[in-house]
Amino acid sequence: ASRVMVASRNYADFASEATFEIKKCDLHRLEEGPSTTAVMTREEGLHYYKTMQTIRRMELKSDQLYKQKIIRGFCHLYDGQEACCVGLEVAIKPTDHVITAYRAHGFTYARGVPVREILAELTGRKGGCVKGKGGSMHMYTKNFYGGNGIVGAQVPLGAGIALACKYFGKNEVCLTLYGDGAANQGQIFETYNMAALWKLPCVFICENNRYGMGTSVERAAASTDYYKRGDFIPGLRVDGMDVLCVREAAKFATEYCRAGKGPILMELQTYRYHGHSMSDPGISYRTREEIQEVRSKSDPITLLKDRMVNTNLASIEELKEIDVAVRKEIEEAAQFATTDPEPPLEELGNHIYFNEPPFEVRGPNQWIKYKSVS
C-alpha cells in the first residue's frame, strides 16, 4: 500500500525544488564568497541521498569483510565524510579531474566506478577496478587519479594535472585533495608556490576530519586555519558535513579557477566515524561520546534526509525504499567480490605502462620472468 501511495505522490504532492539557508563560509583574501542560499531540486536531492547512502553502506560492508579477513592490508574508510565527495562531484564536470589521498572509496564511487568493482578491488579480485592489483589505496578511473598511499604526495601530482589542463587549454580544473595530517608537509607549500606563480586551475582541498591518524589537529598544527595556509592563495572554510555547502563552495572555487585567476584553497570541516584505518579502533584518542555527538547532530545523510522531508521534496517511505534498494545492491556487490576469481600470477607484470609493446619483467628472482602487456 505504501508503495502505491509513494508512486501516486511522485507527480502530485511533492515539491519540485526548495531553497535552503546554508552556513556562510569563512574567507581568506576574498571579498565575496559562495552564496548562503542553495536551491535543490527533488531529483538532485534523491540523487545526493542515494549516493551518500550507497557510500555509507559500502564502507560498512568493507568493515565487515575486513573483520572476516576477506579484505587484507590497508583499508581507510570514508563513512561520515560522504558530503565532501558527493558535494564536490556534483559541482564539477565529468571532464574535470580529481586526485586524492588513500581515503578514496567514496571518490571512486562518485566518479562513476560501480560498487561491485570497488569491493572486488578491496578483496583483490580480477573484476576489481584495477584488476585486483590496487587494493584500498590505489583505485582509478577516467579523470580520477587515485587513491595515493604516500602522505601528501598527490598534491604536486594534482598541480601537474592542473598544468596539463592549462597547457591543453580545455578550461578544465583539477581538484587536489589531502587531509589535515598531510597539511604540514613541505611539498604542499612548494606546490602552492608553483601553482600561484603559474596561475594553475587547481582547487587545493584539505579534508579536515580533525585527526591526522591518531593526533588531533590542535596537537599537530600551530595554526589550524588550513584555508589560510596558502598565504597568497585565496581560501574558503566550508561546512564539510553539509552536501549543499560543499556543492556551492565547489562551484564558486571552480568558477574562480576557470576565470584564469589561478589556484584557490578549500578547507572542508568534516569527521570520520571509523578510526584512521581498520587497524585503528578510533577510540584511544577520542571518546565514543564525541563520535556519537557528531552522528546525532551533524550526520550528512540525516541532515539531507530531514531537509527533504521537511520541505516535501520526498517522503520518509520513499527514502526507506532507497535504503532497501541500496542494501540489496551492496549485498549483491559483496557476493561478487567474494566469489570472483583472483587474478592469475602470470598477469602480475601487466599494465606497468600504457600503450607500450609487451616486454619482460623480472620476478622475485632472476629466473622468474613475467611479460607485461598494456
At position 82, the amino acid (one-letter code) is E
- The pLDDT value given to residue 364: 83
Query: Between vectors from CA 246 to CA 118 and to CA 274, what angle results, nearest 5°?
Result: 50
Superfamily of domain 17-277+287-343: Thiamin diphosphate (ThDP)-binding fold, Pyr/PP domains (3.40.50.970)
Cell numbers for 300: 550528512
Residue-wise pLDDT for 163-190, tens only, equals 999 999 999 999 999 999 999 999 999 9
Task: For the chain, give every domain's residue range.
Answer: 17-277+287-343, 345-373
Cα separation, 222 vs 285, whole angstroms:
19
Alpha helices in the chain (DSSP H): 2-12, 42-67, 82-91, 105-110, 115-122, 154-168, 186-198, 217-220, 243-258, 288-298, 300-310, 316-339
Residue-wise pLDDT for 255-303, tens only, equals 999 999 999 999 999 999 999 999 999 999 999 999 999 999 999 999 9
- The pLDDT value given to residue 10: 54
Cell numbers for 219: 596537537
- The pLDDT value given to residue 31: 97
Neighbours of 72 (CB within 10 A): 14
Neighbours of 193 (CB within 10 A): 15
Neighbours of 23 (CB within 10 A): 14
Give the residues of the chain that fall short of pLDDT 70: 1-12
Cα separation, 104 vs 285, whole angstroms:
23
Q: Is the dihedral of CA 271, 276, 277, 278 positive or negative?
A: negative
- The pLDDT value given to residue 12: 64
Cα separation, 120 vs 101, whole angstroms:
20
Neighbours of 38 (CB within 10 A): 18
Residue-wise pLDDT for 231-257, tens only, equals 999 999 999 999 999 999 999 999 999
- The pLDDT value given to residue 366: 84
